[in-house]
Amino acid sequence: MFDVHIVGGGLAGSEAAWQLAEAGYRVRLSEMRGGGDTTAAHETDRLAEMVCSNSFRSDDAEHNAVGLLHQEMRALGSLIMRAADQSRVPAGSALAVDREGFAAEVTRAIERHPDVSVVRERIDALPDHPTIIATGPLTGSNLADAIAAETGEGALAFFDAIAPIVHRDSIDMDVAWMAARWEKGGKDYINCPLDKEQYEAFVQALRDGDKTEFKDWEKDTPYFEGCMPIEVMAERGVETLRYGPMKGVGLDNPRTGRWPYAVVQLRQDNALGTLWNMVGFQTKLKHGEQVRIFRTIPGLENAEFARLGGIHRNSFINSPRLLDRQLRLKSKPNIRFAGQITGCEGYLESASIGLIAARFAAAELSGIDLPSPPPETALGALLGHITGGADAETFQPMNVNFGLMPPIAGRSKRADRKKAYTDRAREALARWLERVPARELA
Ligand SMILES: Cc1cc2nc3c(=O)[nH]c(=O)nc-3n(C[C@H](O)[C@H](O)[C@H](O)COP(=O)(O)OP(=O)(O)OC[C@H]3O[C@@H](n4cnc5c(N)ncnc54)[C@H](O)[C@@H]3O)c2cc1C
């Protein structure tokens, strides 16, 4: 017998199981590894295996949104953070871990918990009982088919195609301007103009830039049909981009009265208007190369990137459209989603969405209305983004960052502004914790 069924014993599912069990609920945790199945990236049968890097990124809770999320999760009794702190290895201000020790500790804690039964089985359909689906970027294909059948065409993606996202306040609006092509609709795009020389140098830089290779199991991807990486377009011919995402036609530059030779357009990415994505700029350039090359674009010389581009095999649903604010599937509310399949990105973000999904599930079982964590907190900002703040039309996976939080008014030095965000977040979390029912904090 169990109260909640969790499918997937990765970063999110393990955290969710722990949170529910600690709140006094019985959990069945179904993990297909160890039961005859595996994924293309996992190498062990341990719960919460880190498939690539051994880092949970910055642990600086004063000036970094990731570090802030660490702090919030510790305050919420996170097993993933406890195990990470116990397995820590030297990595400057980052929280890096001995991956084997980390996964062994999570596995031990979950398997020993009297209220969790870990079952090594693959789940192929959406259950009818209270369930949290946390099957991650490499969700088993039968279950993926069942999710696609429930959510409708195009609502479950199998690859991401991420274009870089820029903080609005780092764009030089003395160079860029707002307009829509042919002045159709509102002035909805930020336009960065390039002259011929700048454009040709940019195309050459894309061709020469260092790229990330696809893994063997990613090579046969269908992504080329819809969203070709910009560097692939650049390879096809010097004019290809100018007839594609960089075309300047229909865009009068108010400073010259003419159309630019080429243009980079940015479109608003979140309801707050703090984040703007570079339209059509999905790329497999290495992250350092993206920063170097994209900062040669006029208007983006000082761009701060909330997220850099990438293309990976990644199963994720269109959460802003499909889920309610408590991560329930609107069409089948006994099902919650958690982890990377919701369209958050990264070990830590996935675990945090596992944590809050479990808190919501526990509150529902207790007949309590748990308020969402405030948008000023890292957890609340990430949750708010994936469950509604993001634009459903262009939804792509997202890391936690300050751009997801309501902006702080006024101008101040960058370091001071970051500190102001984290100070405000700590106060907001403390106020929220006072409203969280005692049982949820067990
Ligand atoms: C190749 C690769 C490299 C990555 N590198 C990084 C990195 O360096 N840093 C970073 O922060 N993030 C990285 N990520 C993303 C990272 O994997 C996720 O952020 C994180 O693991 C997501 O946690 P999760 O719990 O949502 O999914 P996972 O940790 O993947 O857990 C999902 C679990 O569900 C199980 N499962 C799947 N389908 C079923 C089913 N039908 N029935 C039962 N069980 C099932 C899987 O076996 C798995 O254990 C990488 C992802 C990939 C694919």
Q: What is the pLDDT of residues 40-66, one digit of tens each?
A: 999 999 999 999 899 999 999 999 999
> Percentage of residues in the chain with pLDDT exceeding 90?
84
- Determine the distance separating the centroid of ligand 1 and the alpha carbon of 15, expressed in angstroms: 13
What per-residue confidence (pLDDT) applies to 312?
A: 86
* 223 pLDDT above the threshold of 60: no
Confidence class of residue 152 from pLDDT cuts 50, 70 and 90? very high
Structure tokens at 374: 């405030």
* 441 pLDDT above the threshold of 70: no
Pocket lining: 136 vs ligand 1, CB cutoff 6 Å? yes
DSSP 8-state code for residue 343: T
* 416 pLDDT above the threshold of 90: no
Which ranges of 157-212 would DSSP assign to H, the alpha helix?
Answer: 196-208
- Determine the distance separating the centroid of ligand 1 and the alpha carbon of 119, expressed in angstroms: 18
Pocket lining: 8 vs ligand 1, CB cutoff 6 Å? yes
What per-residue confidence (pLDDT) applies to 439?
A: 57
Distance from CA of residue 264 to its chain's centroid? 24
Average pLDDT, the chain: 94
* 203 pLDDT above the threshold of 80: yes
State pLDDT tens for residues 262-285. 999 999 989 899 999 999 999 999
Structure tokens at 322: 């499909």
What per-residue confidence (pLDDT) applies to 159?
A: 85
Q: Cα–Cα distance between 227 and 279 in angstroms, integer?
A: 11
* 306 pLDDT above the threshold of 80: yes
Q: Cα–Cα distance between 293 and 115 in angstroms, integer?
A: 52
* 233 pLDDT above the threshold of 60: yes
* 440 pLDDT above the threshold of 60: no
Mean pLDDT value of segment 188-199: 97
Pocket lining: 400 vs ligand 1, CB cutoff 6 Å? no
Pocket lining: 350 vs ligand 1, CB cutoff 6 Å? yes
* 173 pLDDT above the threshold of 90: yes
Confidence class of residue 153 from pLDDT cuts 50, 70 and 90? confident
Mean pLDDT value of segment 431-439: 83
- Give the closest residue (by CA) to ligand 1 atom 10: 346
Pocket lining: 31 vs ligand 1, CB cutoff 6 Å? yes
Sign of the dihedral defined by the CA atoms of residues 127, 132, 138, 144, in that order: positive
Pocket lining: 79 vs ligand 1, CB cutoff 6 Å? no
Per-residue burial over 230-247, b if 16 or more Cβ lie within 10 Å, else e, is bbebbeeeeebbbeebbb
Higher pLDDT: 217 or 250? It is 250
Mean pLDDT value of segment 245-249: 96
